[in-house]
Amino acid sequence: MTIRTFWNILLKILGIYLVVQGVGVIMPYLAVFTTTFAMGTDDMIYYIVLTLSILAAYFFILWLFVFKTSWLIDRLDLENGFDEERIDLKGDFSAIMTIAIIVIGGIMLIESLPMLAREFSLYIQRKEIAFQENPSIGWTIFYIVKAMIGYLLMTNSKPIAAFYKQKKY
Reported confidence tier of residue 169, pLDDT bands at 50, 70, 90? very low
Going by C-alpha positions, the residue among 21, 16, 11, 20 that lies closest to residue 72 is 11
Determine the distance from the C-alpha atom of residue 59 to the mean position of all C-alpha atoms in its chain, rounded to a whole number: 13
pLDDT recorded at residue 146: 87
Instruction: Kindly state the average pLDDT of the residues 49-74.
Output: 84
Q: What's the number of domains the chain is made of?
A: 1
Over residues 34-45, the pLDDT tens digits come to 666 666 666 677
pLDDT recorded at residue 148: 92
Residues 24, 28: Cα–Cα separation, whole Å: 7
Q: Which domain holds residue 150?
A: 3-167
Instruction: Kindly state the average pLDDT of the residues 147-167.
Output: 83
Residues 20, 165: Cα–Cα separation, whole Å: 34
Determine whether 164 is exposed, middle or buried from the number of CB atoms within 10 Å of its CB (0-12, 13-18, 19+).
middle
Mean of the per-residue pLDDT values of the chain: 78
pLDDT recorded at residue 20: 66
Residues 44, 37: Cα–Cα separation, whole Å: 6
